[in-house]
């Protein structure tokens, strides 16, 4: 008798465990291979499966997995991946993809869609139900010819390996049809959750497709750049802007992320540091971010071992010269990166490249029992690693020539005008 499968509802987790305990990896090398990949609705499922087998990661973070959708042969791709690789996995349903005449054949629904984390090791799951949603898919999905029920969720897992302490893992897929404000507001909820658990789980991974594409010709689209940073981030790629202004502010630097509040201007950041009253009054006027986001969007110690401008994970084949972006991120905390590589360079298995990082647990240094020293030591380690990997960004910035600098000056001018207008209004 054929097993009856009931689709999960948005926000629900389903799991499969196909591990053979006698074959579990002991990670004898002392390192862990961790994979980030948006598998584009499993359109090319056979290539995806063979790539996963070849890579053989210890932990895999996959976005855009289909279950039962006509566009991907109606298969349960989550179960197929777990079974074929001998993994345990958790899948969070984000959307019930409604079958509809509005949909193109390539996008046809009939099933569910979401994200998953797989591993060879022990793992448990929970979900972050985001409070902020830049796009109401249930109301506006029809206008995109993709009627669906649901919203964005972030899958969280605790992974137990034989070579180190528990690892807190986040599998993220942020909204694409919005702008910098909407995406960072969503992401701030993940950082708040991460910071809440950083004492008990200092080893953390945030992997995912953050859809950081608000630059180049995308600025001309009202779909992908829907806020003031369509112009305020001129001269930056969106991933570069995130790296500098979100991930560049450590939790020890202050209770409010002044880099975000200043819109990326060092001059305005310095001004805000000396004008605390202005800080606390209508924080979102100048930046577009609410006071809650400016407090939550602080980095507890993550760094990304890739260049935000050179390490491209998506090329738009319709505009190969005009648009490319680093949408995918492997943010690590409490680890050293000993190796990294990218693949699917020809985009034959998915419209995203995959990113693989090989990690080694940090060796904690003694902080002589003083909590303040421990915090400082943690920040120092983060800054050292961030600066180490930031060398690539510096090289790229220097090679961009005068145009990039002039565009940033234009963006700065717009920011200064916004601040000045706000001050005059308050008088």
pLDDT digits (tens, 9 = 90+) for 284-313: 677 899 999 999 999 999 999 999 999 999
Please classify residue 151 by burial: count the beta carbons closer than 10 Å to its beta carbon, then call 0-12 exposed, 13-18 middle and 19+ buried. middle
Q: Residue 123 corresponds to which tokens in the numbers above? A: 């793992």
Contact 179, 225 (CB under 8 A): yes
Write the DSSP symbol of residue 310. T
pLDDT (tens digit, 9 = 90+) per residue, 216-259? 888 988 888 999 999 899 999 999 999 999 999 999 999 999 99
How would you classify residue 110: left for phi > 0, otherwise alpha for psi between -120 and 50, otherwise beta?
Answer: left
Write the DSSP symbol of residue 411. H
What does the alpha-carbon distance between residue 238 and residue 384 come to, in Å, rounded to a whole number?
24
Residue of 119, 94, 96 whose CA lies nearest to 35 = 119
pLDDT (tens digit, 9 = 90+) per residue, 96-144? 999 999 999 999 999 999 999 999 999 999 999 999 999 999 999 999 9
Contact 175, 210 (CB under 8 A): no
- CATH number belonging to domain 13-227+302-378: 3.60.10.10
Contact 4, 314 (CB under 8 A): no
What residues form DSSP beta bridges with 160? 122
Q: Which residue has the higher pLDDT, 297 or 269?
A: 297
Helix (H, G, I), strand (E, B) or coil at 40: helix
Backbone CA torsion sign across 74, 208, 305, 236: positive
User: In terms of pTM, does the model score above 0.85?
Assistant: yes
Contact 155, 205 (CB under 8 A): no
Write down the pLDDT at residue 396.
Answer: 47
Q: What's the distance, CA 180 to chain centroid?
A: 13
Question: Rounded mean pLDDT of the chain?
Answer: 88
Write down the pLDDT at residue 107.
Answer: 97
- Confidence grade of residue 22 (pLDDT, cut at 50, 70, 90): low
First-to-last CA distance in the chain?
76
Across 68-147, where does the E strand assignment appear?
88-97, 111-119, 122-129
What does the alpha-carbon distance between residue 315 and residue 326 come to, in Å, rounded to a whole number?
9
Write down the pLDDT at residue 411.
Answer: 47
Pairing relationship of beta strands 148-150 and 122-129 according to DSSP bridges: unpaired
Q: What percent of the chain has pLDDT over 90?
A: 72
- Confidence grade of residue 320 (pLDDT, cut at 50, 70, 90): low
pLDDT (tens digit, 9 = 90+) per residue, 83-99? 999 999 999 999 999 99
How would you classify residue 310: left for phi > 0, otherwise alpha for psi between -120 and 50, otherwise beta?
Answer: alpha
Contacts of 378 (CB under 8 A, 6+ apart): 202, 252, 301
Q: DSSP string of 327-365? A: -EEEEEESEEEEEEEEE-TT-SS-SS-EEEEEEEE--PP
What does the alpha-carbon distance between residue 89 and residue 38 come to, in Å, rounded to a whole number?
16
Please classify residue 23 by burial: count the beta carbons closer than 10 Å to its beta carbon, then call 0-12 exposed, 13-18 middle and 19+ buried. exposed
Contact 269, 247 (CB under 8 A): no
Sheet holding 122-129, edge to edge: 122-129, 153-160, 167-173, 204-209, 328-333
């Amino acid at each position: 008798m054929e097993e009856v499968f009931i689709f999960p509802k948005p926000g629900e987790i389903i799991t499969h465990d196909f591990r053979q305990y006698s074959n579990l990896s002991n990670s004898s090398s002392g390192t862990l291979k961790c994979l980030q990949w948006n598998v584009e609705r499993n359109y090319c499922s056979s290539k995806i499966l063979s790539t996963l087998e070849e890579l053989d990661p210890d932990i895999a973070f996959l976005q855009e997995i289909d279950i039962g959708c006509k566009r991907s042969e109606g298969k349960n791709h989550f179960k197929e991946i777990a079974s074929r690789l001998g993994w345990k996995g958790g899948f969070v349903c984000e959307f019930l993809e409604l079958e509809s005449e509005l949909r193109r054949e390539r996008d046809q629904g009939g099933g569910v869609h979401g994200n998953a984390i797989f591993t060879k090791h022990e793992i448990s799951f929970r979900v972050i139900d985001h409070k902020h949603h830049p796009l109401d898919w249930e109301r506006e999905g029809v206008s995109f010819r993709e009627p669906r029920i649901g919203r964005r969720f972030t899958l969280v897992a605790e992974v137990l390996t034989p070579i180190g302490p528990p690892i807190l893992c986040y599998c993220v897929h942020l909204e694409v049809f919005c702008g910098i404000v909407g995406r960072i507001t969503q992401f701030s909820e993940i950082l708040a959750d991460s910071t809440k658990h950083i004492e008990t789980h200092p080893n953390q991974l945030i992997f995912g497709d953050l859809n950081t594409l608000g630059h180049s010709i995308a600025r001309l689209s009202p779909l992908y750049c829907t806020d003031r940073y369509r112009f305020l981030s001129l001269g930056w790629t969106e991933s570069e802007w995130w790296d500098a202004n979100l991930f560049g502010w450590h939790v020890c630097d202050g209770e409010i992320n002044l880099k975000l509040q200043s819109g990326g201007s060092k001059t305005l950041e310095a001004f805000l540091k000396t004008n605390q009253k202005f800080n606390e009054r209508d924080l979102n006027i100048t930046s577009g971010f609410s006071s809650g986001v400016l407090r939550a969007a602080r980095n507890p110690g993550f760094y990304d071992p890739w260049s935000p401008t050179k390490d491209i994970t998506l090329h738009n084949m319709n505009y190969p010269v005009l648009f490319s972006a680093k949408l995918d991120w492997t943010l690590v905390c409490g680890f050293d990166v000993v190796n990294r590589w990218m693949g699917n360079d020809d985009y034959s298995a998915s419209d995203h490249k995959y990113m693989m990082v090989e990690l080694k647990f940090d060796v904690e240094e003694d902080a002589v029992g003083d909590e303040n020293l421990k915090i400082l030591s943690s920040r120092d380690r983060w800054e050292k690693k961030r600066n180490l990997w930031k060398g690539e960004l510096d090289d790229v910035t220097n090679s961009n020539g005068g145009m990039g600098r002039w565009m940033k000056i234009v963006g700065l001018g717009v920011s200064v005008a916004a601040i000045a207008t706000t001050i005059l209004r308050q008088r």
